[in-house]
Amino acid sequence: MAKKMFWTALIMMVIGVNFVSAQNEATGKVKTAIANFEQYGDPKNRGKVTLTGSDRTWEDQMKFCLERPTQYPNITQDFSKKFNVTLPSTPDKMTSEMRAWWRDRIMAQAGRSPGFPHVGGKAQDIWIAGLDDAGKASLKTILENNGLGVLPEYISGGDSQYNVPLTPANVFHCYVR
C-alpha cells in the first residue's frame, strides 16, 4: 500500500511539474527574447516592451469570447445555437450546463493555435506600441529566433485586428510553434 502511494505521488509530481513547465513555456521564451532585445538592441527601445496577456483560465477565455463574439465566431455561434441565446451573454446569467459547455469546448482547444493558446500558457502577448518600426522588426526577429511565432495585432478598445503590418501593430501575440 505504501509503495503504491509513493508511485502515485511521484507520478502526480512529475505530471504537475510538466504541466507547470508547459504553462510557462511561452512566457519564458518571451522574457528571454526581451532580455536579449534590451541588452543588445538599440538603447532608445529599452523599457518600451511590456508583457500583457498570458496564461488564462477557461473562465477568462469564456469572458473574452462573450465580450468579443465577432472575434470568436465559431464557438459563440455554436453556443448561441445550442442554448438558443443571443450574445453577448454574461457568466452570471448562465446555467451550470452552459458553463460546463464553455469549459469543455475551451479546454478541448487549450494550448493550441488555432484554438485558445493562452489557456495552457502556450501564448504571451506583449505591448510594443512604444517601439519604432525598426525596433518592432528587430524584436520580431529575436522572438522568432527563440522558437516563437509572432502575430502582429492592432488593438483598440475591445476590437483587435490580426496580422497587421508592423507600423500599426501595438501588440505582438507570441505563441509556441
Phi, psi dihedral angles at 41 (to 5 degrees)? -85, -175
The pLDDT tens digits for 24-78 are 788 889 999 999 999 988 999 999 999 887 678 899 889 888 888 888 889 999 9
Q: What mean pLDDT value characterizes the chain?
A: 82
Least confident of 29-38, 49-58, 112-121, 143-152: 112-121
Q: Which of these, 167, 175, 173, lies nearest to 131 by C-alpha position?
A: 167
Residue type, 165: P
User: What mean pLDDT comes out for the span 93-104?
Assistant: 92
| pTM recorded for the entire structure | 0.69
Q: Which of these, 108, 134, 122, 168, lies nearest to 42 by C-alpha position?
A: 134
- pLDDT of res. 25: 81
Enumerate domains of the chain plus CATH numbers.
24-55+121-177 (3.30.1360), 56-116 (no CATH)
C-beta separation of 120 from 19 below 8 A: no
| DSSP β-bridge partners for residue 123 | 175
Q: Which of these, 169, 147, 146, 142, lies nearest to 42 by C-alpha position?
A: 142
Consecutive H or E run containing 176 = strand 171-176
- pLDDT of res. 1: 52
